[in-house]
Every structure is written in C-alpha cells, then in structure tokens.
Structure 1
Amino acid sequence: MKKIGFSGTLDPITNGHMWVIGEARSIADEVVVFLSENSTKQPKFSAEERRAIVLESCRERGWDDVQVQIVKSDYTARVARKHGAEYLIRGIRTTADFDYENLIQQTNVEVIGGAKTIFVMPPRDLGSVSSSFVKALEGPVGWNWTMKKFVPGPAYRAWILSWLRKEWDGLWQRCAADAARQAHIDQWFELLTGVAAYGGANRHYHNLDHLVHGLAEIRAWNANVQPARADADAVRAAFWFHDAVYEHEAGSTVSNEEASAQLWLGSGLAGDAAMADTVALLIRATDHFQGASISHPLKDTMLSADLAILGQDDEVYRSYARGIRAEYAHVEEDHYRSQRGQVLAYLRGKAETGSLFGDAYFAEQYSEQAIANMNGELAWLQG
C-alpha cells in the first residue's frame, strides 16, 4: 500500500494512537496523520501545537517519515482521498467502537466519497487508553506519574507545562498585571521550567515531575486545611523556587537552598516585603544546614510537601529512588550507598517517632507508607 492516513483530534496523542501509527507504517510506504481542527471542540492545545507534539513524538521513535496535515472545515476522509490516501486506519477497542467506526466508514465512503477504513485492534494494555481517559487523570496528587504511563514523552511534557502555567499564573493573579509586569512573570516561568532549572537534562528527580507533585500536594493541603490565601501562596512560591538551583560544586560555600532563596529575593516577584521574606525563609527551611534554626508557622507544611514523595506508592517511590541515584551519578557506588543509607536511617527514625511530617495533614496520609518505602530501599542499599 502506498499511502495510509490516520485521523483524530489527538488532544493529547496517546500511546494507543502511537501504536496505530506504528501499525500504519508497517503496511504502507507513507503515513499521514490528519489532525482535526474542530470548531465545536475546545482542545487544550491549538492545532499547530498538536501538530508539533505529534511530529516530535514520532521523531522520538525514529519515525521521521510520518507527515502531519491539519484538516480545517472539511471531512477528514475526503481530505485524505484528496491527498492520495485511499485508506484511513483506525484502532478499535470494543464492539461499541466497531459499531460506531463502521457507521462512520459507511458515511465516509458512500456519502462523501472519502477514504475507506482499515480497523486494527491494539494490545490489551492499550485497549482503554484514549485522549478522554488521559484528560480525566489530571488534578489529584500523583496524576502526573499516572499520565506519564499513557502518553509519549513530548505530549506528557506539553501537558504538565500547561498545568504548571495555570498554577504559576494563579499565584500572581492578585498582582497588578500591566504589560511589563506580565512579561516579567512570563520570563520567570520560562526560566524556572527551562533547562537552567527544573527542565534541565541532569534533573533526574528535582525536575518538572517533582515540581508538579509538590504543587499538587500543596493544592490538596489547601483544599483540606483551608489556610489563609497569603499562607497558601507563600508555600506555593517557596516550592517553585526551593530547588531552582541544584548543582554539585565542590568547595561551594553557598548551599543550593540558599542560592535558590537569593534567586527568589532577586526575582522581584513578591507583592510586598513580608511575602518576600516569608518565602525566602521557607526555602531556607529545606536546607539541612540552616533549616533547624528557622522557626515559622508554615515551615512544617513546606517540609512535609517536599518530603511527601517518601510516602507515595511503591512504584512511584522506586522511580524517585532511581532518580536520586542518577542525580548523584558522580558519587562512587559504595560511598553513595553509605551516605544514602545514613540519610534514610535518619528520616526513617523521624517517621517512626511521628516527626517526619510536622504537618498533621501529611503525617496522617504518608507516615506509614514512608516507613515501608524507606525500609525497602535500606534493605537494597545494604544488600
């Protein structure tokens, strides 16, 4: 077969869609993805953004030959036929899918003279994956790790950046937003999510995933504890900046946390001096060397949100542990096991005495699982 088309809104493209595109490549010389721009839908991403995500997702798998064509105000099957694709390929997961797709195929061929349809059935692990399913995952604590299982990397990154953007803009919506101020806010978002900070290639744990998780934890804490708006905003701002600087410089006299606090103070983002000082204090509270001497009503909340990763389910915790090891790849294995073991033993001791999570909201949810997780990693480190 010379050319075959695959159509959809693809908001976002999923691993199920990618599987269908892979099947198309195996039976045709050319594959064109026909991306629908439907005015009746309100997708998260524009058609051009979705096109870029699809192309990047294909390139990531070495599929440089896949083309993407945006369809505007026309039937996809008719556009496919115009572009020389006599067949569209569609994935069907259930008998209900077949009944629906078969009706669409009959309309495409008999009514509008469009391309015919070839049906393929995805493997069982992709059978329930749809864009609607993936969209529904967003929100609760840990949603990002769940979503990551079902979409290609470029789609995942675009989705969490969109979520982070909403969180970021919501933090500053109380501020007077003239054009210059908004541009300043935009610049700091790009900096914090870019390669110089959480988006950096060497950020294997203290990265965008960590940022999403912590902010989701703070969002849940805010919904359940209902603190004052200023308090919640201070914790959010501190979490955005607390790992903004994360380097391993031998002989450095300034800790990463202090450098991050200074970065915050120099950002000019705070609405007033009180917020600037509070956020800097909360960032410094995460510093092993100066945290113990810091006293603030929000300190326990900040530290608990940062340590909440210790109480996640086993799969997420193991991914976290691998990420930490990768960030310390410069440390020799035996030395790493020794140092990491000491840190975990200390944290486990605090968990066993009920003092790991100083905020009661986090302690109730995560203490027991944190102990089990750390016991498991300690056993591996000592094995």
Structure 2
Amino acid sequence: MQKIGFSGTLDPITNGHMWVIGEARSIAEEVVVFLSENSTKAPKFSAEERKAIVLASCAERGWNNVAVQIVKSEYTARVAKRNGVGYLIRGIRSTADFDYENLIQQTNVEVIGGAKTLFVMPPRDLGSVSSSFVKALEGPVGWNWTMKKFVPAPAYKAWILAWLRKEWDSLWRERPHSAEWFERLTGEQAYGGAERHYHNLDHLVHGLAEIRAWAANTGAAPAHVALVKAAFWFHDAVYAHAAGEVSNEEASARLWLGSGLEPDAVRAEEVATLIRATDHFQGGAMLHPLKDTMLSVDLAILGQEAEVYQAYATGIRAEYAHVPEADYNSKRAQILAHLRGKAEAGTLFADPFFTDNYTAAAIANMSAELALIAGR
C-alpha cells in the first residue's frame, strides 16, 4: 500500500497515537496524519502547534515518511480519498470503541463516499491511553511525572511549557519584558538547558504544584503564595558547576533583582531573601516568615513515590556526571545520611504541611538509595 491515513484531534498526541502511526508505517510507504480543526472545540494547542508537535514526535523516532495535513470543516474520510488515501487506520481499545468506530466507518464509506477504515488493537499498556485521559492528569502534585509516561517528549514539553506560561502570567503578565523573561528562564540557558537533568523544567513544574497544594491545604494568603512562587521560579535559574565569585543561589537572587519584574523594592528583596535561603552557605542566616515553606518545597522531591524519587536520583547523578563514581558515591552518601537524620528527627521539612505528608516516604527513599550506594 502506498498511502494510509490516521486522523484525530491529537490534543495532545499520546503514545497510543504514536503506536497506531507506527502500525500504519508497517503497512504503507507513507502515512498522512489528518489533523482535525473543529471550530466547536477549544483545544489546548492550535492546529499549527499540534502539527509541529506531531512532526517533532515522529522525527524523534526517525520516522521520515509521516506527513501532517490539517483538515478544516470537512469530512476527514472525504479529504483523505480526495488526496489519494484509500484507507484510514484506527486503534480499537474496547468493544465500545469498535461499535463507535464501526458506525463512523459505515458513514464514511456508505454516506459520504470517503476512505475505508482498518482497525488495529493496541497492546494492553496503551489500551487506556487517550488525549482526554492525559488531560485529566494535569494539576495535582506529581502530575507531570505521570503524564511523561503517556506522551512523546515533544508533546510533553509543549504541555508543561503551556502550563508554566499560565503560572508565570498569573504573577507577571503585565510587567515589562515579562515574555522575554519567561523565554529566558524556560530556555536553554536556564531550566530548559540540555545539561539540566534534574534542576530543569520538571523540577520547576513539580515545585510550583507543591506550592499550589500547600496553599490550598493551609489557607495561605495570596500575597504569601505569590512570594514563594516568585522565589521558586528564580531559585535555580543559575546552576553552574564551576566555582564562581558567588554561589548559584546568590547569582539567581541577583538575576531576580535585576529582572525588574517586581517594582516594589521591599517585595523584591523578600523574594531575594527566600532564594538565598536555599543557599547551603548563607541560607542559615536568612530570616523570613516563609523561609520554612520555601525550603520544604525545594526538598519535597525527597518524599515522593519511589518511582519519582528514582528519576530524581538519576537526574542528580547525570548533572554530576563529571564527578568520578567513587567520589560521587562518597559525597552523596554523606548528604543522604545527613538529610535522613534530619527526617528521622522530624526536622527535614520545617513546614508542618510537608512534615506530615512527606517525612515517612523521604526516609524510605533515602534509605533505599543509601543501600544502593553501599552495594556498589
């Protein structure tokens, strides 16, 4: 078969969709993805954005025989046939899917004279993966780590950037140069950098979600929430291994103060104080009522589910790939033993909300990593 089509809204494209496209590639020489633009729906991404995400997701896998065509206010099956595509491929996940798709197939062929449909059944682990399923994951603490398992990397990055942009705009939409600062912090020179294996966009999303949860469960004042969010946005903006004149945290605080995003000098200094509170060298001297919360948010990753913690530990090792294994293990074990001791004493998370929710898991996670290091 020369051509076969695959249609959908793909908002976002999921690993289930990618599996079907892969099956299509095994059947035909060329796959055409017909991307629906429905004026009655309000998708997260525009049709052009979705097209770019689909192409990037296919390119990432080396699939160079996949094209994307946007369909506007037309029957996809009719557009497909008009473009020399005689068959569309669809994934069937359940009997309900089959009944629905069979009705669509009959309509496509018998009513509008369009392309016929071939049905394939995805493997069990992809059987429940759909765009609506992925959309429903957004929001709670850890949602990004879960979503990452179900969508290709370009779709994941586009999604979290869109989420981060809403968070950013809630703080600084009207401030001068706001858009430029968002691009800077999420770009290659900061959290979006290729060498950022943990202190990256994932870390940023996770921390901001933690702040949301803290605020919702403690009734924190909106002004306090905004201060902690602002500090978290900038606290790891500068992250370099080479020794400089100042620490990364101090450099990040100065970057914040130079951004001009907060015109109120007192509030700007408060944010800088919270950023400096995360500094190993000078943090102890920093005083602010929200310091305990800021430090707890930064350490919250230690108390996550084992799978998320393991991803964190792997990322930390990758960021210190320049350090020899023996040296890394020795230093890492010292740090973990110190932090576990604080957790066992109930002082790792200074904010009670985090103490109550994450202490037990943090002890278990760090103990598991220490055991792994000892066995190397």
**TM-score scaled by length of structure 1:** 0.97
Tell me how far apart the structure 1 counterparts of residues 347 and 286 of structure 2 sit (CA, whole Å).
Answer: 16
Tell me how far apart the structure 1 counterparts of residues 139 and 260 of structure 2 sit (CA, whole Å).
Answer: 29
1:187-266 superposed matches below 5 A: 187-250=180-243, 252-266=244-258
Q: 2:352 aligns with which of 329, 339, 360?
A: 360
Q: Displacement of 1:344 after TM fit?
A: 0.6
1:115-154 superposed matches below 5 A: 115-154=115-154
2:62 match: secondary structure? coil
The letter for the 2-side match of 1:155 is A
Tell me how far apart the structure 1 counterparts of residues 263 and 113 of structure 2 sit (CA, whole Å).
Answer: 61
In the other structure, the counterpart of 2:338 is 346
User: For this pair of structures, how many residues does the alignment match?
Assistant: 375
In the other structure, the counterpart of 2:88 is 88
Q: State whether structure 2 residue 325 is matched by structure 1 residue 333.
A: yes
1:54-133 superposed matches below 5 A: 54-133=54-133
Tell me how far apart the structure 1 counterparts of residues 237 and 290 of structure 2 sit (CA, whole Å).
Answer: 20
Per-residue Cα deviation, 1:296-352 (whole angstroms, up to 9, x for no partner): 110000000000000000000001000000000010110000111111111111101
Per-residue Cα deviation, 1:70-105 (whole angstroms, up to 9, x for no partner): 001100000000110000000000000000000000
The letter for the 2-side match of 1:214 is G
Q: State whether structure 2 residue 314 is matched by structure 1 residue 316.
A: no
In the other structure, the counterpart of 1:287 is 279
Gaps of 5+ in 2: none
Tell me how far apart the structure 2 counterparts of residues 243 and 341 of structure 1 sit (CA, whole Å).
Answer: 23
Per-residue Cα deviation, 1:338-371 (whole angstroms, up to 9, x for no partner): 1111111111111011100000001100000000
2:199 match: secondary structure? coil
The letter for the 1-side match of 2:348 is L
Tell me how far apart the structure 1 counterparts of residues 128 and 263 of structure 2 sit (CA, whole Å).
Answer: 46
Instruction: Tell whether the 8 Å contact from 2:5 to 2:88 is kept in structure 1 after alignment.
Output: yes
The letter for the 2-side match of 1:43 is P
Instruction: Tell whether the 8 Å contact from 2:29 to 2:65 is kept in structure 1 after alignment.
Output: no
1:359-378 superposed matches below 5 A: 359-378=351-370
Q: Displacement of 1:172 after TM fit?
A: 2.3
Percent identity of equivalent pairs: 77
The letter for the 2-side match of 1:367 is T
Per-residue Cα deviation, 1:273-295 (whole angstroms, up to 9, x for no partner): 11100000000000000011112
Tell me how far apart the structure 1 counterparts of residues 162 and 100 of structure 2 sit (CA, whole Å).
Answer: 32
Q: Displacement of 1:14 after TM fit?
A: 0.2
Tell me how far apart the structure 1 counterparts of residues 118 and 162 of structure 2 sit (CA, whole Å).
Answer: 34
Gaps of 5+ in 1: none
RMSD: 0.7
Q: Displacement of 1:198 after TM fit?
A: 0.1
Q: Displacement of 1:253 after TM fit?
A: 2.7
4+ long deviations beyond 6 Å: none
Tell me how far apart the structure 1 counterparts of residues 145 and 373 of structure 2 sit (CA, whole Å).
Answer: 25
In the other structure, the counterpart of 2:298 is 306
The letter for the 1-side match of 2:209 is A
Q: State whether structure 2 residue 47 is matched by structure 1 residue 47.
A: yes
The letter for the 2-side match of 1:306 is D
Instruction: Tell whether the 8 Å contact from 2:55 to 2:67 is kept in structure 1 after alignment.
Output: yes
Q: Displacement of 1:226 after TM fit?
A: 1.6
Q: Displacement of 1:65 after TM fit?
A: 1.3
In the other structure, the counterpart of 1:6 is 6
Tell me how far apart the structure 1 counterparts of residues 214 and 282 of structure 2 sit (CA, whole Å).
Answer: 25
Tell me how far apart the structure 2 counterparts of residues 294 and 276 of structure 1 sit (CA, whole Å).
Answer: 15
Q: State whether structure 2 residue 186 is matched by structure 1 residue 185.
A: no
